[in-house]
Structure 1
Amino acid sequence: MNPLSNPSTAPRYEAVDALRALAMVWMAAFHFCFDLAHFGLWPQDFRTDPVWTTQRTLILSLFLFCAGLGQAIALHQGQSMDRFARRWLQIAGCALLVSLGSFFMFPRSFIYFGVLHGMAVMLLIARFTAGWGAWLWLCGLVALALPVAATHLLTGAFSELAPAFNARTLNWLGLVGRKPFTEDYVPLFPWLGVLWWGLAAGQWALHRPGGPQLLQVRLPTALQPMAVLGRWSLSFYMVHQPVLIAVVMALAWMFKP
């Protein structure tokens, strides 16, 4: 057995942890603003305003790119299938909890394929395509382009197929003519492309001279909390919204007319 497959001996990659934490903190700030709007304290258009839609794209891109980096590191350290399966089950279980919680809060637009649902599928694909090497860069590019092509075709020459691809049974693929009405939508395409690029970038860095040392660079003391937060990303993700919603509900009660 590769000794690095033991979590107690595997070195931490603090720079990657901190980068993941940056995505989490940015996401929490975004969700706090969303909650303020939802409870009427600060009306905003989160569905069409570029200020918010662009931020969502950047946050999600950073988060999934870090997930790809994490997979590259895990494979480099000899992560066993058992450990991968345990982590995958945690993510899939949390995805189900997100669906359940969002159904009670947004019954008409509950989350049925959000970021955790997407990650559960993407991580399986990444695990079994990690051996594709440099081809992952091209695969990522194709994944990013597919939704654009699908939208063009489903609103044009192949419009008769649009109802099937727009339905919930298939729209998780991301090959849709229109986006579904849901509170969080992270389909397989194009987002698998971002995770593939993170995986490819991680493999490239880890197999070049000095690459592992670059990813393992020691952070300044002031940034150490970010590295710690990055190691608990799933727990943070599951806890932050209930806490923020409680805070905003309290604010709404305090400042109600």
Structure 2
Amino acid sequence: MPPTPRFDRLDALRGLAMVWMTAFHFCFDLSYFRVIAQDFYRDPFWTWQRSAIVSIFLLCAGAGQAVAVGQGQTSFRFWRRWGQIMGCALLVSIGSYGMFPRSFISFGVLHGMALMLILTRFGFSRLPDIALWALGAVAIALPFLVQHPFFDTRTTNWVGLVTHKPLTEDYVPLLPWLGPMLWGFALARTEAVRDWMRRPLPGLTRPLAGLGRWSLSYYMVHQPVLIGALMGARQLGWI
């Protein structure tokens, strides 16, 4: 089967989020190594950046699913990619447990994305756009309106209706984060957005599209590289 055409602008948007994420994580790592003093858990300057980065990722994931459905992507290709995401999510949990045993990642962005992709592909993709916009708004609003202690445990906090943020280094529950994915799916089905995605990229932004095509691989290696570099710098006495 010939490869399906890609939308360079969608890949570039994902690549831009990867660059932003790298800068964010580099600053986080500098704080972890006590090179700088920043509160990444409570300072709005950092928490809002995290929310924006995750939102872009999920918007792109939703848009990518809309493109895949429109191009007739087979279930085999979907499940192959899903397996890669879920396998990487498990590696993130294992790796974070080694570094942060008390606050390891049990339901981070890859875990959340894996669940949301199934729900979107095999459930919500059948709905009209107006329903996707409405359900996305409900998903975003619901955690601010409904919380219960039942959802505060590590086995139930993946839903998102928690009374307080769990002790974990990355937390992307179903609610409210399903909202951006549904909105991304609805956006990519509108003709104006599809026309925008089909346009060629300006030359200087083309590397972002290449990065966006390898987003999962890049996501998995960027933190080990950053942390390894900072550990080396510390051993050499540079920091």
TM-score by length of 2: 0.96
Structure 1: which 4+ aligned runs deviate by more than 4 Å? Answer: none
Unpaired segments of 5 or more residues in structure 2?
Answer: none
Question: What secondary structure sits across from 2:158 in the alignment?
Answer: helix
Is 1:133–2:139 an aligned residue pair?
A: no
1: CA distance, partners of 2:43 / 2:58: 23
CA RMSD of superposed structures (Å): 1.3
2: CA distance, partners of 1:211 / 1:255: 50
Task: Please point out which of 70, 80, 83 is paired with 2:77.
Answer: 83
2: CA distance, partners of 1:150 / 1:248: 42
Alignment match, 2:168: 182
Is 1:244–2:230 an aligned residue pair?
A: no
Alignment match, 1:3: none
Between the two proteins, the alignment pairs up a number of residues equal to: 237
Is 1:235–2:217 an aligned residue pair?
A: yes
AA in 2 matched with 1:130: S
Q: Give 1 or 2 for the bigger CA radius of gyration.
A: 1
2: CA distance, partners of 1:9 / 1:64: 24
Q: CA deviation at 1:211?
A: 5.0
Identical amino acids, percent of aligned pairs: 56
Deviations 1:47-96 (A, max 9, x none): 00011001001111111101111111111111000100000000000000
Q: Determine if contact 1:41/1:252 at 8 Å carries over to the other structure.
A: no
Q: Determine if contact 1:88/1:120 at 8 Å carries over to the other structure.
A: yes
Question: What secondary structure sits across from 1:109 in the alignment?
Answer: coil
TM-score by length of 1: 0.89
Deviations 1:78-120 (A, max 9, x none): 1000100000000000000000000000001000000000000
Q: Determine if contact 1:118/1:186 at 8 Å carries over to the other structure.
A: yes
Q: Determine if contact 2:187/2:193 at 8 Å carries over to the other structure.
A: no
When structure 1 is superposed on structure 2, of 210-219 and 187-196 the one drifting more is 210-219
